[in-house]
Structure 1
Amino acid sequence: MGRYRKKRNIMSLDLTPLIDVVFLLLIFFMVSTTFNKYGKIDIDVPVSKVSEKTEDTKVEIVIDKNENYFILKDGKTFPINIDDLGEYLKDVKEVSITGDKNLKYQTVMDLITKVKQQGIENLGINFYE
């Protein structure tokens, strides 16, 4: 009587999907990489001896839930009155308004009006909880 041998199932790993992913990644990085076509040119960049003092021309105005106004300028926080806003906004080019999410719409609009009356056109608005 003949003996029948059981065939062993040899597990093999299909590498086709892995190779596809590697090629897709390769294509992605080749397309998304920017190449500097001036990289081989040796340039000495001139240095200016005159330094220009740049002033921080951005101010943040914060309104809390009790409609108290604060101004953040030069890394310092000052409580302010909305009627005295003009003296804090001298030489300011950009204002960011941050307010509590439960503020009345009219409160924010009054502040925006006061800021616009000072001639400031760059205005950002944020709300927090």
Structure 2
Amino acid sequence: MNIKGPSRDDVSIDMGPMIDLVFLLLIFFMVASVVTELEKVEVEIPESSHAKVPEDTKGRMMLSIDANNQVYVGTLAVTTEELKDYIATELDLNPDLRILIRADRRVEYKTCKDIMIACGEVGATDLIYATFEE
């Protein structure tokens, strides 16, 4: 019996599905990067010659203070009392809660001081401010 298979010259890989997959991945990452940028309140971060970039900013609760001295937890506007309640709840879930404060360069010092006092009153002591290095 003489069985002959297809010749090897006719075998090729169809690149069409692979190119489609690459384009889908490209579109996914473009959309995902835009979505993560929309989750922040727009603030103009100040610059400092003594700024030090923290080694680890992941896992920090983000507080933002805009130029009108409005405080946000993520993108939710809160009062000082609501902020205390929110931080106390988060501290119950995570006793090692760390907080990143993004304050606009035009924010009054009194507002920053009130936020630090509110955090301290409920037991959150690991606070850092976001700044850019000059």
TM-score (norm 1): 0.48
Larger radius of gyration: 1
Give the number of the structure with larger relative contact order, counting CA–CA contacts within 8 Å between residues 6 or more apart: 2
TM-score (norm 2): 0.46
More helix by share: 2
More strand by share: 1
